[in-house]
Amino acid sequence: MDLVSILEAQLERARDSYPEATFETRELPETTTVAGDHPLEVALAEVLENAIEHADGRG
């Protein structure tokens, strides 16, 4: 699986779901291949949602 593509897709979903949130990323490589499947996508989505829910505004 391409981790960068998965992360970009999850960031897009999070931005759509939480338009008031700000997401910043550092420069990402074009691709990063990892062994994984759908649970990896779910885990990344949950990490982003958790970060939003527990952010205290202190960038």
Q: Along the chain (59 residues), what's the average pLDDT of each consecutive run of 10 residues?
A: 93 93 89 91 94 75
Q: What is the pLDDT of residue 44?
A: 94
Q: What is the pLDDT of residue 2?
A: 94
- The overall pTM is greater than 0.85: no
Q: What is the pLDDT of residue 34?
A: 92
Q: How far apart are CA 23 and CA 39, in angstroms?
A: 22
Q: How far apart are CA 39 and CA 36, in angstroms?
A: 8
Q: What is the pLDDT of residue 8?
A: 93
